[in-house]
Structure 1
Amino acid sequence: MKTSDCDILIVPGYQDSGTDHWQSRWERQLSTARRVRQESWDFPNRDAWVAKIVEDVTAAALPVVLVGHSLGVLAIAHAAPLLPPNRVSGAFLVGVPDAERPGFVPAIDRAFAPIPRDPLPFPSVLVASRTDPHCDYAKAEDIAYAWGSAIVDAGDSGHINTESGHGPWPEGLMRFAGFLKTLRPAT
């Protein structure tokens, strides 16, 4: 699949992705990419975030490829069973947070926990860092296996965001392009 064959829906996490974040850069670079815009980035509510993802997937003109980061990854996992059948061709998921961990960000609606454990109904890749302050690598690996996602070890990459030096993130874009090549339009 090429980028022109799909609607790429960028799903940021808590507090959105700033202009230098790799998700924002991809949104500007990829002609079929657009952001799923949430009502509140600072006080996320799982039901509202899930409903917005379902709405945007339903409205898409082409097969959908989801690109989630951080809390956006969990929102995608919670939305997965509610998505219209055969609309999502795949999901590229980066930096899943451990919403079940004690002391998880208090501003975030605790309804993002427990983390869904059912397999995702579409192909997916979960990119995880060994030094992510929001999720231990072993937990991310366990989540990936539960979801049926291919796990990608990003090494010592922090939360794979602007603060960890992943503004442009060319390696991620190459990995995303490789993932797209494995996908077929949802049927």
Structure 2
Amino acid sequence: MTILFVDGWLGPDPGDWQELWTRKLPGSRRVEQDDWHLAERNKWVARLDEAITACTEPPVLVAHSLGCPTVAHWVADNPHRRVRAALMVTPADVERNITPEITGFAPIPQIPFSFPTVVAASRNDHWMTPERAAAFAKSWNARLVDAGEVGHLTVTEGYGAWLQGEQLLTDLLNTTAG
């Protein structure tokens, strides 16, 4: 099984939960972007598509922050492509957080995903309110999980290991086994 980590704006952070999971989970890797600081939607979505196309079986996507709108745009552009499941973690609301380097990701597609999806939302994330996360989860046909007061789940907020997230991923994989 391949697990693709779809990072957000500014890219991988040494010691973040995605790095720790990548080391721990066989068959996992991070989708690399050419420019982590200037996020261009079409380029990011194309890079995600390349990574998915290179997989020999439908991958599991684990997206964080701006990686979540990247996945949503990929789904909108590729409605018939296969993915096993997705874990969308603390999505970035690029429609309400106007930051010039990421505005090209607005509007975020609100279409149902054709694969099992979980949205893990924070109660105190400065990038997305719980209400907006719930609305996106509903539009993506995803199960919403209250991750608690975890901010944006970054290393600077104290998140290297994120055990609740590991359990969410395990549970999601168990529901798609077969």
Using structure 1 for the length normalisation, give the TM-score.
Answer: 0.90
Q: What does the per-residue CA deviation read over 1:120-147, in whole Å, with 9 as the maximum and x for residues that have no partner?
A: 1211000000100111110111110011
**Aligned-pair distance for 1:84?**
7.4
**Aligned-pair distance for 1:52?**
0.8
Partner of 2:169: 176
- Of the three residues 23, 36, 39, the one matched with 1:41 is 36
Partner of 1:105: 99
- Structure 2: any 5+ residue segments left out of the alignment? none
**Aligned-pair distance for 1:86?**
5.1
Q: Distance in 1 between matches of 2:101 and 2:47?
A: 19
- Of the three residues 117, 123, 126, the one matched with 2:110 is 117
**Aligned-pair distance for 1:9?**
0.4
Partner of 1:54: 49
Query: Could you list the runs of 4 or more consecutive aligned residues of structure 1 that deviate by over 6 angstroms after TM superposition?
Result: none
Q: Distance in 1 between matches of 2:168 and 2:159?
A: 14
- Of the three residues 88, 93, 111, the one matched with 1:93 is 88
**Aligned-pair distance for 1:98?**
1.0
Q: Which amino acid aligns with 1:105?
A: T
Q: Which runs of structure 2 are paired with 1:89-168 in the superposition (5 Å)?
A: 89-101=84-96, 103-108=97-102, 110-168=103-161
Cα–Cα, structure 1 residues 35 and 84, in superposed 2: closer, same or farther, change >3 Å?
A: farther
Q: What does the per-residue CA deviation read over 1:75-130, in whole Å, with 9 as the maximum and x for residues that have no partner?
A: 000001334735301101101111111x522222x220011111112110000001
Q: Distance in 2 between matches of 1:128 and 1:140?
A: 6
Task: Choose 92-101 or 161-170, whichever is displaced more.
Answer: 161-170
Q: Distance in 2 between matches of 1:58 and 1:13?
A: 20
- Percent identity between matched residues is 39
Q: Distance in 1 between matches of 2:76 and 2:130?
A: 25
CA RMSD, 1 decimal = 1.4
Q: Which amino acid aligns with 2:100?
A: P
**Number of residues paired by the alignment?**
178
- The alignment status of 1:72 with 2:60, answered yes or no, reads no
Q: Distance in 1 between matches of 2:7 and 2:161?
A: 15
- The alignment status of 1:11 with 2:6, answered yes or no, reads yes
